[in-house]
Structure 1
Amino acid sequence: MPKIPIRVALLEDVPLFRQVIEQVVSENEQMEMVASAGTGHKAVTVFPAAKPDVALLDLFLPDGFGFDFGLQLRVQLPDLHIIILSEHVKPKVLQALPEAERPYWSYLLKTGVSSRQVLTDAIKGCLNRSLMDEQVREKKVNLEGFHLEMLSNQQREILSLVAAGMSNAAIAQKLFIAPKSVEYHLTQIYSQLKVAPDATTNARVRAAMIFAQQERED
């Protein structure tokens, strides 16, 4: 049995949604809202002192990704359980976690929070096991696809041209940008996709393969 009250922290940038969750948690006798933030940087600053048992983290934030802030919080609070909140059915994120981390992470669609009971059950349940929204479970979790979604529109366009076999010079000419700009964007793309040269393939080829794979899935 989890200790009562369950200490809850919330990271959500939409004020109305944040207020709704705060109210639901505060009105539950088995829970206590101990911290709330609208940005990730504020969360990693104030949450550790509040010592929550569970942190609800919005996935997409103005100053970064809830997943990354969650990793930072887990370093400071090794017993913290995290529920990622998102509007996206395909999170493509949890495979990024080491095996030992996964029991501490759950994923809930914002649309799935259809009632107080759904939210409070998730908060209680995540302390015992990793929870995944039913709609999300039906989707294939693909870490590389998740990182692909983080690219800007121009980066995706450049990557699509790389996948089509175009050289940097040809891409620069087509997009009316300098070749060095193409090189810069590709460096950022490789970093975002977590690809690097190895003995069997290079970063350019690997990035193109990731893009082609995701296009087939979509």
Structure 2
Amino acid sequence: MNPGPPLRIVIVEDQTALRLDIENFLAQQAGFIVIGSCATVHDAIVLIHSTKPDLLLLDIGLPDGTGFDILEQIPAQMKVIFLTAHHEYAIRAIRYGAIDYLLKPLSEEELKEALQRVISAQPLLQEQIAITLHTFKKNKLQDHIALRSQQFVEIVAVKEICYLQGDNGYTTVFLNGGMKVVTTRNLKDYEELLSGTSFLRTHQSYLINELYIRRYHPKEGILYLKDGTQIPVSLRKKEMVDKYFKWL
């Protein structure tokens, strides 16, 4: 239960039945209050600037544009949960910015879990919005990524990530210079998100930035990074890693 004042919510969704379902659902949830709803980009921008909500439930596909058009014109000091049945590259952009989202058709249980997450989440950083918009508009990989921990969101350059280590649904991201961030995403999420970049999955628990590899010992099944860190290469990944070094 939310111990503070209720989160003030604006719903932007062009499917009338779904919008009403969400409103009715929220009316039964403690700690939340719907202060407005609408179905278009134009109406959403007017409503958001007049009511200044704490949280947006934001559809992507709208009659006069997209949820990203709205994201571009809102102040950063609010929280956002995207509602989408949209294309993969839209979801990729949202994930790059570490913004929460739910896939349609919506599940009440998933919506309830997302609302509980958002209670303790911080409002979006301007950098999160910028990363998301750039990735969506260009439909290409960003050079920065948002890392969401339980306490904060850290914006880092992808090239500064040395390696990632997964453990029980969490991923520790090790950065050049010794800093690390424990994130609330699993390693497979990052593998998908960083596909097409310089990252190599060498083990069930490790994703390595090729830029930081110094040496590979195939007989030992160990990669050495430039800072001396030793990364294991699993038997399942050994053939792929061998081929990678063969074609360098």
- Deviation of residue 93 (structure 1)? 5.0
Structure 1 runs (4+) deviating above 6 angstroms are none
| Structure 2 equivalent of residue 114 of structure 1 | 107
Instruction: With the length of structure 2 as denominator, give the TM-score of the two structures.
Output: 0.45
Matched, 1:58 2:59: yes
- Deviation of residue 88 (structure 1)? 2.9
**What is the distance in 2 between the residues matched to 1:2 and 1:68?**
33
**What is the distance in 2 between the residues matched to 1:89 and 1:11?**
18
**Cα RMSD, aligned residues only:** 3.1
**Is the CA contact (8 Å cut-off) linking 1:89 and 1:109 kept in structure 2?**
no
**Bigger strand share:** 2
Instruction: With the length of structure 1 as denominator, give the TM-score of the two structures.
Output: 0.50
| Structure 1 equivalent of residue 81 of structure 2 | 83
**What is the distance in 2 between the residues matched to 1:26 and 1:144?**
33
Of 115, 120, 130, which aligns to 1:123? 115
SS of the residue corresponding to residue 32 of structure 1 reads strand
Q: Structure 1 residues 2 and 61 mapped into 2: Cα distance closer, same or farther (>3 Å)?
A: farther
SS of the residue corresponding to residue 5 of structure 2 reads coil
Report 1:11-90 matches (<5 A).
11-73=12-74, 75=75, 78-88=76-86, 90=88
- Deviation of residue 96 (structure 1)? 7.6
Unaligned runs of 5+ in 1: 131-141, 149-212, 214-218
- Deviation of residue 106 (structure 1)? 1.5
Q: Structure 1 residues 30 and 64 mapped into 2: Cα distance closer, same or farther (>3 Å)?
A: same
Count of equivalent residues = 129
Q: Structure 1 residues 72 and 3 mapped into 2: Cα distance closer, same or farther (>3 Å)?
A: farther
Identity, in percent, stands at 28
